[in-house]
Amino acid sequence: MPNLGWQELLIIFFIIVIIFGASKLPEIGRGLGQSIREFRQAAREAQEAQQAEQAPTNLPDKTA
């Protein structure tokens, strides 16, 4: 995947402004930020759950 430089990002920004209009940009940014935050939280919770499942239990064996 090629890296995007500042020129490409600027072109993408102008296309977004043309399509959605300048008044909708804060709304779009807010929604994108919330989505990223929720995704990170869900990924962190899934990782913690996986680590909890893999953690060895150090409880004494009471079968004896």
Predicted local distance difference test score (pLDDT) of residue 1: 58
How sure is the predictor about 4, in pLDDT bands with cuts at 50, 70 and 90?
confident
- Domain extents for the chain? 23-51
Contacts of 17 (CB under 8 A, 6+ apart): 25
Of 11, 13, 6, nearest to 28 (Cα)?
Answer: 13
- pTM, two decimals, is 0.57
Give residue-wise pLDDT tens across range 9-49.
899 989 988 998 888 888 988 999 999 999 999 999 999 99
